[in-house]
Amino acid sequence: MEQISGKKLPLPPGKRQRKTEMSEGEMMTIMILFHLSHYRTFKDFYCDCILGQFRTDFPKAVSYPRFVALMPDFS
């Protein structure tokens, strides 16, 4: 058997593999703001505050599902 060389398989056509425009600092700031807020769930906080009230402060904010998908890479 041949050994696997550690290369990634190519993505199927139509799949994009792009980096997020949100910086790690912005993601950390959002997490800190959530812990300082009165919201019980992160989803409500993110949708109401980040995508609502603070949209001008976080112009490159991604959607909630995308943010949650990025969290394991962030930590």
pLDDT at 15 exceeding the cut of 60: no
Average pLDDT, the chain: 84
Give the residue-averaged pLDDT of 44-59. Answer: 94
Cα angle at 59 between 57 and 60, to 5 degrees?
130
Going by pLDDT thresholds of 50, 70 and 90, the confidence category of residue 21 is confident
How many CB atoms neighbour CB 22 within 10 A? 18
**What's the pTM value of the predicted model, to 2 decimals?**
0.71
The predicted structure's pLDDT at residue 17: 61
Going by pLDDT thresholds of 50, 70 and 90, the confidence category of residue 6 is low
- Residue 70 CA to residue 22 CA, distance in Å, equals 10
Give the 3-state secondary structure of residue 58.
coil
